[in-house]
Amino acid sequence: MTDIEKKGSESPGAANPEGAFTLIVEEHQRLVYGVALRLTGNSSAAEDITQETFIAAWRHLKDFRGESSLKTWLLRIAANKARSYWRWKKLRTWFSLSDPANGDEESPALEDLLPDDPRQRPEQAAQAAELERRVQAAISALPPRQREVAVLRAQGLSGAEIAAALGMAEGTVKAHWFEARKKLEVSLREYL
Amino acid sequence: MNEDEKERKLLSLLAPRRSEAFWAAQRARIASSAAERKGPARAWLLAPAAAAALLAVLLVRPQREPMQTEPQVVSAAFIEHLDLLDDMDVLEAVPEEEL
């Protein structure tokens, strides 16, 4: 548990909400964005989800009672927003606003993938982009529940934390991870 | 490579990698968005409400199906109505004084 996460009656934003919010964003943005990106396969949707997750947390920070860890709470918000994203996509398909075959996966910009200017190292940039594409394709090919479990597992969450974030039994999490892992190892075998 | 190492390698592959500049820009966007907070929500964030509305429409639909059986009910009622009319004919045939 971090210093801004507290168990008990005092909420993390009680004394200095703005300061607490900045700390929360800094500490959890990688986690939230990682989950959003892998669940949607769309970098701009992941940006939106990350932003909206922290805004929702900001709005309800005073109500956070510390019954779950802050990390689990944020990831539950992000996972719900990712599910909303897919419902929205399905609705759009139903109303023929978009062609379902024409997915709107959006790759991240090369400069976001590498720590420095990718134009200096075009070969490495291309490899990073290819790896990103392959990993995302492997995750997107998983059934929704397996995908959610795998994505949270990849962010270092334990079985119990994943169960709490997704609202499922720990045994179910283990079973989903077992299946997801087998499929991912096959899809990404050349990188393992 | 043992199973644990293999799993660790797989998990490290799955985690997205981004530059520090990316994270800094994201923090700035979140901070400014939190400051505004009054901006319009993304359309797809309204999906739960839209899905609920759609569900309501779908739930209403099946209730219409029994109405398709209505002609049978009407025809039964119609036959009864005809019987009643027959009685009425009899009644009409009886002179008023005898009623």
Q: Does A29 lie in the same domain as A83?
A: yes
Say if A36 falls within a structural domain. Answer: yes
- Cβ-nearest to B44 among A85, A191, A192: A85
The mean per-residue pLDDT over the stretch A50-76 comes to 86
The mean per-residue pLDDT over the stretch A1-25 comes to 62
Rounded to a whole number of angstroms, the CA Rg of chain B reads 37
Residue B64 and residue A15: Cα distance in Å, rounded?
Answer: 57
Say if A109 falls within a structural domain. Answer: no
- Quick check: B47 and A111 CB within 8 A? no
- Quick check: A34 and B26 CB within 8 A? no
Number of domains, chain A: 2
Say if A30 falls within a structural domain. Answer: yes
Provide the 3-class DSSP secondary structure of residue A68: coil
Give the pLDDT confidence of B24-64 residue by residue, as tens digits.
Answer: 999 999 999 888 864 455 556 666 777 787 888 777 765 55
Say if A143 falls within a structural domain. Answer: yes
Q: Does A148 lie in the same domain as A83?
A: no
Residue B98 CA neighbour count, 13 Å, CB half: 6
Instruction: Give the ipTM of the model, two decimals please.
Output: 0.76
- Choose the mutation target among B9, B10, B36, B38 for the interface with A, i.e. most A CBs under 10 Å: B10
* Type and span of the H or E element at A17: helix A17-40
Give the pLDDT confidence of A84-135 residue by residue, as tens digits.
Answer: 999 888 888 777 665 544 445 555 565 565 555 556 677 888 888 899 999 9
Mean of per-residue pLDDT scores for chain A: 83
- Quick check: A128 and B17 CB within 8 A? yes
Residue A26 and residue A20: Cα distance in Å, rounded?
Answer: 10
Q: Does A64 lie in the same domain as A1?
A: yes
- Quick check: B15 and A112 CB within 8 A? no
Say if A115 falls within a structural domain. Answer: no
Residue A191 and residue A98: Cα distance in Å, rounded?
Answer: 34
Integer CA distances (angstroms), A12 to A27, A102, A191, B43, in order:
13, 43, 41, 30
Say if A108 falls within a structural domain. Answer: no
Q: Does A79 lie in the same domain as A125?
A: no
* Token duo for residue A13: 């934003």
Taking the CA of residue B43 and the nearest CA in chain A, the distance in Å comes to: 8
Q: Does A82 lie in the same domain as A6?
A: yes
- Find the CATH number of the domain harbouring A80: 1.10.1740.10
Residue A111 and residue A117: Cα distance in Å, rounded?
Answer: 6
Q: Does A84 lie in the same domain as A4?
A: yes
- Find the CATH number of the domain harbouring A178: 1.10.10.10
Host domain of residue A156: 120-192
* Token duo for residue B31: 């901070």
Say if A10 falls within a structural domain. Answer: yes
Residue B18 and residue A115: Cα distance in Å, rounded?
Answer: 7
Q: Is A155 on the interface with B (CB under 8 A)?
A: yes
CB count, 10 Å around CB of A147? 20
Q: Does A70 lie in the same domain as A4?
A: yes
Please report which confidence band the pLDDT of residue A27 belongs to, taking 50, 70 and 90 as the band edges.
very high
The mean per-residue pLDDT over the stretch A46-60 comes to 92
Q: For the residues of B53-76, what is the DSSP string, one character each? A: HHHHHHHHHHHHGGGGGHHHHHHH
Taking the CA of residue A70 and the nearest CA in chain B, the distance in Å comes to: 18
* Token duo for residue A81: 């927003």
Residues contacting residue A59 through CB under 8 Å, at least 6 positions apart = B37
Say if A140 falls within a structural domain. Answer: yes
- Cβ-nearest to B10 among A21, A85, A184: A184
B49-57 contacts at long range (C-beta below 8 A, 24 or more positions apart): B50/A87, B50/A88, B50/A91, B51/A87, B51/A91, B54/A91
Q: Does A45 lie in the same domain as A83?
A: yes
Residue A75 CA neighbour count, 13 Å, CB half: 30
What is the value of pTM for the model shown? Answer: 0.68
